[in-house]
Amino acid sequence: MLQLTPILFALAYAVVIYWFSAARTRRELDAKSTDLTDPGLLRLTGRMARALDLDRIRVHIYEIDPVNGLAAPDGRIFITRGFYNRYRRGEVTGEELASVIAHELGHVALGHSRRRMIDFSGQNAVRVAMATILNRFLPGVGPLIANGLMTLLAARISRSDEYEADAYASALLIRAGIGTEPQKSLFDKLERLVGGGAGAPAWLMSHPRSADRIRAIEANEARWLGAPRG
């Protein structure tokens, strides 16, 4: 039992930290967000809502400058003011921004946001266990190895979630009559819009490379629709 105590403590600590972080995020989003009211974007979200048999899809604008979309732990969907401003300047089309909203809906529908607490807690416990074991054989180095391995695992899980949310978005966009071309064209622009990240090794990145995501979308189209792959 004494050998399990550090692991149980790590699990409890991770759960507490996650809930504090989620509460802080919720307060931040409540204080710095407004409802999306853009008529053009509302028409597009209305098409997606009808495809899902919903009355509406509520989207919020998060008042920060970076270009991003967000599915909050409580299921709310956000796009940042920075992303919305790119749309207003014509750098991003309404259909491309709709593909971001569809992607974030995918995270919610597939339970990724809720599952993150389990993943975070489990990874923290495994990290403690690995560090304890490895430190017996590699004093001082074992925890570094454990942290590195868990970072790789977390990045791989995150990339898998992104591919799944992309697939959900593709299916929704096709069903709504918007199609996947805006989704793919946005990925072509994404690294320029957000800046950096292109040189990081794929196995360390929390998001797949844009070119890999486009290939995955085209593979899904070929499988679902019999469309030729680019």
Over 80: is that where the pLDDT of 190 sits? Answer: yes
The partner residues of 60 in beta bridges, in order of sequence, read 35, 78
Q: Which residues contact 125 (CB under 8 A, 6 or more apart)?
A: 7, 8, 10, 11, 14
Q: Which of 13-17, 93-97, 152-156 has the lowest mean pLDDT?
A: 13-17
Please tell me the pTM assigned to this model: 0.75
Model confidence at 104, pLDDT cuts 50, 70, 90, reads very high
| Domain span at 72 | 5-225
- What's the mean pLDDT when you consider all of the chain? 81
Domain-located, residue 230: no
| CA dist., res. 171 & res. 24, Å (int) | 33
Domain-located, residue 143: yes
Q: Is 96 exposed, middle or buried (0-12, 13-18, 19+ CB in 10 A)?
A: buried
Domain count along the chain: 1
Please report the pLDDT score of residue 227 as a whole number: 54
Domain-located, residue 188: yes
Over 60: is that where the pLDDT of 173 sits? Answer: yes
How far from each other are the two terminal CA atoms of the chain, in whole angstroms?
57
Please report the pLDDT score of residue 124 as a whole number: 60
Per-residue pLDDT tens over the stretch 20-39: 666 777 788 888 999 999 99
